[in-house]
A and B are shown apart, each in its own frame.
Chain A
Amino acid sequence: GVTQSPTHLIKTRGQQVTLRCSSQSGHNTVSWYQQALGQGPQFIFQYYREEENGRGNFPPRFSGLQFPNDSSELNVNALELDDSALYLCASSLLLAGAMITQYFGPGTRLTVL
């Protein structure tokens, strides 16, 4: 399955944070989402075969990496209070642009004080 670490995290404004995701074996795509309380997930970006190939309306201080060993990272620099949210990663198998399967992780709850 898809796992994320840590489960919860508390940071202060201006700090940097790295969130981690372990994808489903055999999947070639990982997407990251930010979900504020009471809202639907918002697409941050997507990595396909270790390269970013899609991005939502998030500033460059949100960056990511995808590694060949089914792991990936979301990095956020210069944290702001509004970055407090649940961060979800989704592992997918894309073939010819079509999503065959997709599984979400349980999320990391980030609180910025």
Chain B
Amino acid sequence: DTAVSQTPKYLVTQMGNDKSIKCEQNLGHDTMYWYKQDSKKFLKIMFSYNNKELIINETVPNRFSPKSPDKAHLNLHINSLELGDSAVYFCASSQVSQVGYTFGSGTRLTVV
């Protein structure tokens, strides 16, 4: 069983479309995260949810909206996709941050 699973693994779409990325964790963790990794491998935190409550909301465009139906799921919806949104998006979860994150394998989003 994959601990943190993201779908889809690859996503190619045209500018202006709306798309969603799903994330599920079966570790019983309370906190989930979305990170964006650019082409230079730089990781930027986007959002963090703790028990379905938004606790970190970094400066990202309003076109990005996270949704957490329960503490095991954190989905990312992106409206009006732009070329600059092309990146790898990672979901992660943790129980207590000091123990370390568990990352999903990533979703490579390509906007054409």
A binds B: no
Please list the residues of chain B having a beta carbon within 8 angstroms of any beta carbon in chain A: none
